[in-house]
Amino acid sequence: MANIKKVASLIEKKRIISKEIEDLQNKCAHLNKSIKSIKEYEASSTLIFRWTCDECEKITGIPNDKELKKYLN
């Protein structure tokens, strides 16, 4: 029973932190961006390339072929 309460508590903390990150990212102006390789989704080992804000780490776009080629060189 103690494990159930611990898990529930951790899930609630995760939800609160995720909401706080989302709020900060939504307030950010995203003035400086870089192309970064990131996991496609949390449980995946597949990496994808995305424009991300250097300050808040929010994904802001998908690089085009020319941008991606420049990044990889």
The pLDDT of residue 57: 96
- pLDDT tens per residue across span 25-70: 999 999 999 999 998 877 778 899 999 999 999 999 999 999 999 9
Does residue 30 contact residue 56 with C-beta atoms inside 8 Å?
Answer: yes
The pLDDT of residue 1: 67
HSE of 67 in the Cβ direction (CA atoms, 13 Å)? 11
The pLDDT of residue 45: 82
The pLDDT of residue 44: 76
The 3-state DSSP class for residue 31 equals coil
Instruction: For the chain, give every domain's residue range.
Output: 2-72
| pLDDT at position 14 over 90 | yes
Q: What is the pTM of this model?
A: 0.77
